[in-house]
Amino acid sequence: MRTFRNITGNQTIIKLLKNAIFYNKVSHAYIISGDEGCGKTLIGETFAKTLLCEEGKTDACCNCISCKSFENGNNPDIFYVKPKKGKTKSIGVNDIREQVIENVSIKPYKYKYKVFIIENADDMTKEAQNAFLKTLEEPPEYGVFILLARNPEKFLPTVLSRCVNIKIRPLSNGEVINYIRTYTEIPDEKIELFAEYSRGSIGRALMMSQSSEFIEMRENIINTITNLYGKNDFYACDSVKYIEEYKNEKGLLDIMYMWYRDMLSAKVLKDDKYIIQKDKKDIIFKEANKYSAECIIDKAEACLEAKNQLLKNVNFRLCMEVLLMKLKESY
């Protein structure tokens, strides 16, 4: 159940929202932004739930009718604004008219506020934002809008300036590890691994831990690069075919980089407590014996270089051919 007390990290933001409730200084509009899986929906929804909680405290009680109806998805004063089914993913001017402007003019059914949660609010068209602007300029006293967004720069400056802007930062590795350890069944040997891949997002860590595709991708990538040892240039170039299907996966080069980083820890520090991929520690130690520390560092750097190249939209196949040729070298 959503409560502020159960949220990991982002405590400054949570304090700001709790203070707004406590001091009765709730603004009419909030933009909560951050990457996929950063917890913006969780924070936005918890704020909405707390605003309507009948206990009137700074965190949801989870026992009152309002809290319970929110968790059941039928609180009469909380509305989710979405693009109409069958249309494109952008929120159009008609969606805003029908779901926001017409609705907000009617007083709350039961509670102090009427809360509108707009998911992917940055997908609002310019026309939709302009239509919404009128409501933002003169909102009814009870109206609260929570706009969830990945790219706040897509909002018109006029919309931005009328909202409280809250940016959710990625959590630290330690915070993610603590969360995973406390709230999930992920086995110990994989906790650090998922925390590392999650890049500060609990949502992403959980998603990956439940995704068989991610686990399969990781296996395929590790197999491809470990098989390069002792092979010729032709084999290395041809091996691109084993990883080509992951060309749009952001994690591809992270997985490769982490592989060599762990190998370097094994080689230099010779202690498995420094290895993140504990589930593979035996093979990491074995692999580390095949190369010099210098060679492993060069490989890790080649992975970072390839990652930068791909961000610049360099041809995937070419970039990977160069990388795999480098990764097959041993000295």
**Minimal distance in Å, beta carbon 114 to Zn ion?**
17
Cα separation, 34 vs 151, in Å, equals 7
**# residues contacting Zn ion (CB under 5 A):** 5
The CB-of-141 to Zn ion minimum distance in angstroms stands at: 21
Least separation in angstroms between residue 63's CB and Zn ion is 6
Alpha-carbon distance of 213 to 210, in angstroms, equals 9
Q: What is the dihedral of CA 202, 204, 207, 213, to 10 degrees?
A: -150
Task: Phi first, then psi: give them for residue 115, nearest 5 degrees.
Answer: -110, 130
28 with 139: CB under 8 angstroms? yes
Question: Shortest approach of Zn ion to residue 21 CB, angstroms?
Answer: 12
85 burial type by CB count under 10 A (0-12 exposed, 13-18 middle, 19+ buried):
exposed
Q: Which of residues 66-125 bind Zn ion (CB under 5 A)?
A: 67
- For Zn ion, give the closer residue by CB, 67 or 263: 67
Q: How far is the CB of 285 from Zn ion (least distance, A)?
A: 53
Span near Zn ion by CB under 5 A; candidates 52-60, 186-194, 242-250, 263-271: 52-60
Member of 16, 26, 61, 297 binding Zn ion (CB under 5 A): 61
Instruction: Specify the residue, 61 or 164, whose C-beta has the smaller distance to Zn ion.
Output: 61
58 is a site residue for Zn ion (CB under 5 A): no
Minimum distance, C-beta of residue 68 to Zn ion, in the bound complex (Å): 8
Smallest distance, Zn ion to C-beta of residue 51, A: 10
Residue 239 contacts residue 228 (beta carbons within 8 Å): yes
Q: Which residue, 53 or 324, is less far from Zn ion as judged by CB?
A: 53
> Which residues lie closer than 8 Å to 255 by C-beta, 6 or more apart?
197, 217, 218, 221, 222
Could you say which of 21, 53, 136, 144 contacts Zn ion (CB under 5 A)?
53
Question: Which one of the spans 37-45, 62-70, 261-269, 282-290 is the region binding Zn ion (CB under 5 A)?
Answer: 62-70
**CB-wise, 67 or 222, nearer to Zn ion?**
67
Q: Of 61 and 297, which has the nearer Cβ to Zn ion? A: 61
Closer Cβ to Zn ion, 75 or 209, answer by number? 75
CB nearer to Zn ion: pick between 42 and 206: 42
| For Zn ion, the closer CB: 74 or 313 | 74
The residue among 64 and 101 lying less far from Zn ion, judged by its C-beta, is 64
Q: How far is the CB of 22 from Zn ion (least distance, A)?
A: 15
Q: Of residues 64, 101, 156, 304, which one binds Zn ion by CB under 5 A?
A: 64
Among residues 265, 282, 263, 287, which one has the least CA distance to residue 274?
Answer: 265
Site for Zn ion in 167-196 (CB under 5 A): none
Tell the smallest beta-carbon distance from residue 216 to Zn ion (Å). Answer: 43
Choices 63-71, 164-172, 267-275, 295-303; region in contact with Zn ion by CB under 5 A: 63-71
CA–chain centroid gap for 84, Å, is 25
Task: State the residues that interact with Zn ion by CB under 5 A.
Answer: 53, 55, 61, 64, 67
